[in-house]
């Protein structure tokens, strides 16, 4: 997985360098970035399939491709933070997770990688073996008081589903914390929370490929992971609330009341 994201990151950095040159065109770099996104997913598909030929593949661009090995599925987002990438902002990531399916119908994420090629920051975790940034073990922050917390979130733009609820959430949380950041990559928000740059993160309306690797990073770094509601599986991406244990509990209560 690490080999795949690093090899995908090299041509992506060349594409990223080209994006800045396209900002002056009237059409903008949208078509170019869409092509880069598809190309990156194709590279990941080829490398991961070569490494584990039978595994299934779930990607943002191509959807689910079932494999002959029904017990494993790759979950891939080739560019998480596409809008940032499109505007030549160096805050985006390649993220890959491995999901293991049990005969009883349950499943779990057993390995995950989130890589920001601009910063050369590689976050990775394997179930039961901790979370890491490059070669260093990482842990969630030690803060316990919500008033001291720096919280990350996402905010859908006006007209998108969930915008009204996101504004309610923002109002409820913003009055109780030290600060809120919205940088535009859920995968990196999760990774940064796992290493304590953020104290907690919440968002609604995400997809499985946005969160799969990051949720494992969080639990392996000592964090707590739930949905806002008890009946929502955070791995679905529909509702995600994560953070240092005390912070997560307080944040979740605020969101439930919003």
The pLDDT value given to residue 20: 77
Interval 67-85: pLDDT, tens: 999 999 999 999 999 999 9
Interval 37-57: pLDDT, tens: 999 999 999 999 999 999 999
Is the confidence at residue 30, as pLDDT, over 70? yes
239: CB partners within 8 A, 6+ apart? 204, 227, 228, 229, 232
Is the confidence at residue 28, as pLDDT, over 90? no
The residue with greater pLDDT, 31 or 185, is 185
Interval 161-209: pLDDT, tens: 888 999 999 999 999 999 999 999 999 999 999 999 999 999 999 999 9
């Amino acid at each position: 997985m690490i080999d795949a994201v690093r090899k995908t990151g090299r041509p992506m950095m060349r594409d990223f360098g080209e994006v800045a040159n396209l900002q002056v065109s009237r059409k903008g770099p949208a078509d170019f970035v869409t092509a880069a996104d598809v190309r990156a997913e194709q590279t990941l598909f080829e490398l991961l399939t070569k490494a584990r030929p039978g595994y299934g593949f779930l990607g943002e661009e191509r959807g689910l491709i079932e494999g002959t090995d029904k017990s494993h599925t790759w979950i891939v987002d080739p560019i998480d933070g596409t809008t940032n990438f499109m505007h030549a902002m160096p805050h985006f990531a390649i993220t890959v997770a491995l999901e293991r399916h049990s005969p009883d119908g349950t499943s779990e994420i057993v390995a995950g990688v989130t890589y920001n090629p601009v910063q050369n920051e590689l976050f990775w975790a394997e179930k039961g073996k901790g979370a890491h940034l490059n070669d260093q073990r990482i842990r969630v922050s030690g803060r316990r008081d919500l008033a001291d917390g720096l919280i990350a979130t996402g905010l859908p733009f006006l007209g998108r589903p969930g915008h009204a609820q996101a504004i309610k959430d923002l109002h409820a949380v913003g009055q109780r914390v030290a600060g809120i950041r919205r940088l535009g990559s859920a995968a990196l928000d999760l990774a940064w929370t796992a290493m304590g740059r953020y104290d907690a993160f919440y968002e609604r309306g995400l997809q499985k490929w946005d969160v799969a690797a990051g949720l494992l990073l969080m639990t392996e770094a000592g964090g707590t992971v739930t949905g806002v509601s008890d009946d929502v599986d955070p791995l679905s991406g529909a509702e995600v609330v994560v953070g240092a244990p005390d912070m997560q509990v307080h944040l979740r209560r605020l969101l439930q009341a919003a």
